[in-house]
Copies of this chain bind each other. A is one copy, B any other.
Amino acid sequence: MPEIRQNFITKEWVIFAPERSKRPEEFKTKKEKREVPSHSPICPFCPGNEHLTPPELFSIKKDGNWLVRVVPNKFPALEREGEKIRSLKGIKRSITGVGIHEVLIEAPLHNLFIPFMGEEQILTVLETYRLRYLEAWKDPKVEMVLIFKNHGEGAGTSLEHPHSQLIGLPIIPTDIRQRLWDAMRYYDENGECIYCRNLEEEIKDGERIVMETKNFVVFIPYAAYTPFHTWIFPKNHRCSFSDAKDDEMEEFARVLKDILLKFYKGLNDPDYNILLRSYPSGKGTERFFHWYVSIVLRLTKSAGFELGSGMFINTSLPEKDAEFLRSIK
């Protein structure tokens, strides 16, 4: 009998259909492994081609060479300059597309993806995340800051060179507002953070845990939307990753490397999106919001049912996915 599970945090329902289910190893992508060069002469993110990007906003350098570099997106979804103007004309409700759209180039080498980076390079990337994130929130036009990464063509990336993106939106997306509202309401009714409670029960259950370190837990949520949908939760309640302490950041760098390496080895370099869910201190979400990272693997395709219902059909069980990932060394 299939089972429909509800995500405790987002309230979304997911159908788990064992009849349709594959064994975890069957999700291995079939793409041909090809050698990615360490430098590409036509890549705008490779050293020597700095003139192909808009002028640099930020960088971290060592011995005169940049390790990480931040530039405005050349084809921005939102524009930095301009006034934030709302307009309401009957059904036509709009706001000017002002905001921030930056590209964070994660390494000078064209093929140095996070799972192969040294911890120091990952820390440099995370420190860049932190600084640009705090900077973006300073803009009074910005109501929401998202940091995300697209890895692989199936995850929507057009440039291969390791990079992340930051978007600062002039509105709070409807979905995010709903989640904040739900988390606040849970806090009002239970006097505890819904994320802390979720984490506590996932640890107690154990079945869906992939890794646990001193300060972090990596798990496949009970109602994972898609096969291998993975959450990384810090144990300490903080609404923003930018408040994490130095030793936590070091641990986070290792955890991120390890889980991405498990995906690389176990599923043959799958395409994925990484989403950093975080709210800064001082925005009133301190008590009820809890930062975390969501990794969405692009192993399946959404079709009419998903579009029509907003629900997912997951053909894999979180407990099995977690067991499989634990076994990958």
Contacts and interface: CB of A to CB of B under 8 A. Distances in A.
Interface of A: 1-6, 8, 10-13, 15-17, 19-20, 75-79, 82, 90-98, 144, 146, 148-150, 154-157, 165, 167, 169-171, 173-176, 178, 197-198, 201-202, 205, 222, 273-275, 277, 294, 296, 301-311, 313
A150 to B, nearest CB: 5
Given A20-B75, A76-B19, A2 B304 contact: no
Given A1-B98, A3-B97, A91-B222, A77 B174 contact: no
A309 B91 contact: no
A11 B175 CA distance: 10
Given A15-B77, A82-B1, A175-B310, A93 B275 contact: no
Contacts of A75: 17, 19-20
Contacts of A78: 2, 15, 17
Contact of A91 (B15, B201, B302): B201
Contacts of A307: 148, 273, 275, 294, 296
A155 B309 CA distance: 15
B13 A173 contact: yes
A73 to B, nearest CB: 10
A95 B3 CA distance: 6
Given A77-B2, A169-B309, A173-B309, A150 B304 contact: yes
Contacts of A170: 4
Nearest to A5: B94
A271 to B, nearest CB: 10
B97 A171 contact: no
A175 B12 CA distance: 8
Contacts of A274: 304
